[in-house]
Amino acid sequence: MQGKHLFEYAVIRVVPRVEREEFLNVGVILYCRDQGFLHTLYTLNESRLLAFAPHLDMQELQDRLQAFERICCGRREGGRIGELGIAERFRWLTAARSTIVQTSPVHPGLCTDANETLHKLFRQLVL
């Protein structure tokens, strides 16, 4: 399979009440070691989210998702986690947690272009 690269991804979910285990997909995070790629795409459909959970603080959600972006980019903007290697940042972002923003289990696949694959998964799983 020449030209194919292993990638891993997870869906980013908003889980307003953790005990109910109900969620809405709002983004995707994708990591491809061979291409040095770690990026996330997300969207906050405010009317849909507020219909699902009227008490949500949209600014808090935006802040948390922007933190995902900064960590993916690395460097100082991502804080101490942003200074870790690319694989460690992906593992940290996709670790199980009991907060309003969670990720699905990590899924693998093969791609030729990680950025194109991220956009395709975003269209399929979020939009």
Does the pLDDT of residue 19 top 90, yes or no? no
pLDDT digits over 28-52, tens only?
A: 999 999 999 999 999 999 999 999 9
Please report which confidence band the pLDDT of residue 76 belongs to, taking 50, 70 and 90 as the band edges. Answer: confident
Roughly how many angstroms between the first and final C-alpha of the chain, as a whole number? 30
Question: Taking the alpha carbons of 33, 12, 44, 127 in that order, is the dihedral positive or negative?
Answer: positive
Look at residue 2 in the predicted model and tell me its pLDDT: 66
pLDDT at position 58 is 95
pTM: 0.93
The pLDDT-based confidence of 18 (bands split at 50, 70, 90) is confident
CB 110 within 8 A of CB 120: no
